[in-house]
Amino acid sequence: MGVNVYDEAGRLYKVGDVFSTKIVEQPLVTERREIYSFPFGNAEMVQLAFSGIYIVYGDMVMYETKRLDFEITGDVDLVEMHFTLQGAGSMKNLVSGKEHHFKTNQHNLHYVPTFAGTGIYDSPDRYKFFEVHFTTRFFLELAKDSCPSLMRFAEKIAKGNENDLSLDNLPISFGMHQIIHDIMNANFTGGLKLLYLQSKCIELLTLQSQMYENADRTGATPSLICKPGHDTDSIHFAREYLLQHAAQPPSLTELARVAGINEFKLKQGFKALYNNTVFGYLTDYKLTQAKELLTGNVPIKDVSDQLGYSSVQHFTSAFRKKFGMPPGKVKEG
């Protein structure tokens, strides 16, 4: 599987053309990291393949053009979970005439059996992405007797029809971000790495399908609460500002003022985009950071102080509530 990329001058660049069906299907992890330098920008990409799963993630810095033409090559038939971590734009498939939009902190599940078309990027800036592809055979097995949305999606795939799980992209939740982080930083080797990555990819698919099921039942989408453009950009900025000041977080009023949005839109929009309250998200972030620090043998008191907890007792209580064990158990493990 690979991608032919054509710039606005019609020049051809080949990207990632190394993973065949045989490599994707084999029961061991094949990994490759590549750095590209193009006239229109630079890119770095990591690819992993194992047991019917193909992961690819990376980032691209655009500085000369906003439009590129793409053609998917190779013989691998895949279902794609796509997560846009940064950047915005659209991809139009000239084969089917269908257009796919992407924006920071959004995700969807796609089946595109054939793609040759055009990508348009909203600005010459950094674009970061994370994708998990399942072979069609493996995905159909996973979707069998699962939730209604995946089963309906699988029926269309079995007929060879291009399709998206959701008409609207949905927000990437904290749990999804954490799984993506775990996959990118997996330090296991051999068979253990294969099992770890496989379980994380299936967990990510589960969270994605659950979010779609919830949105489908309630009919609520982020676009009904916060308007694309200024509102969503302000909420994304608020999240970044909040995490940068996690040890001494601003009040909700201060955060709304810094982000240039009123408190109501901040609270409601944050819940819609990140599936959590503002300070619920911050708590999850801090405790996840704490677990990583403890795993690295940082003393409990230092972790508590570093993350801004008023006391070790307060930190221990919050940690136990989230993970079901005291911080000392992590250090013992």
Which of 304, 299, 229 is CA-nearest to residue 261? 229
Q: Please name the residue that has the structure tokens 């977080």.
A: 249
252-311 pLDDT, tens digit per residue, is 999 998 888 888 888 888 887 787 899 999 999 999 889 888 988 889 999 999 888 889
Could you tell me the two tokens for 116?
């040759």
Say what the pLDDT of residue 6 is.
Answer: 84
Task: Specify the CATH class of 2-218 in words.
Answer: mainly beta
Q: pLDDT band at 216, cuts 50/70/90?
A: low
Q: Where exactly are the structural domains of the chain?
A: 2-218, 223-332
pLDDT higher at 2 or 177: 177
As a whole-number percent, the residues of the chain with pLDDT over 90 amount to: 36
- What pLDDT does 237 receive? 86
CA distances to 78, 168, 200, 258, 267 from 277, rounded to whole Å, are 35, 22, 25, 18, 7
Report whether pLDDT(225) > 50.
Answer: no
Is 224 a residue whose pLDDT tops 60? no
Paired strand residues for 78: 135
pLDDT band per the 50, 70, 90 thresholds, residue 142: very high
More confident position, 294 or 213: 294
pLDDT score for 125: 73
Q: What pLDDT was estimated at residue 333?
A: 55
In this predicted structure, what is the pLDDT of residue 71? Answer: 86
pLDDT(73) > 50: yes
The listed CATH number (1.10.10.60, 3.40.50.1370, 3.40.50.620, 3.40.50.920) that belongs to domain 223-332: 1.10.10.60
What mean pLDDT, rounded, does the chain reach? 86
With 0-12 CB in 10 A as exposed, 13-18 as middle and 19+ as buried, what is 303? buried
* Better-predicted residue by pLDDT, 293 or 16: 293
The segment with the largest mean pLDDT, out of 85-94, 162-171, 192-201, is 192-201
Residue with tokens 């708590």: 283
User: CA torsion angle for 204, 96, 105, 29 (degrees, to 10)?
Assistant: 40
- pLDDT one-digit tens code per residue, 19-60: 777 888 888 999 999 998 888 888 999 999 999 999 999 998
pLDDT for 223 equals: 44
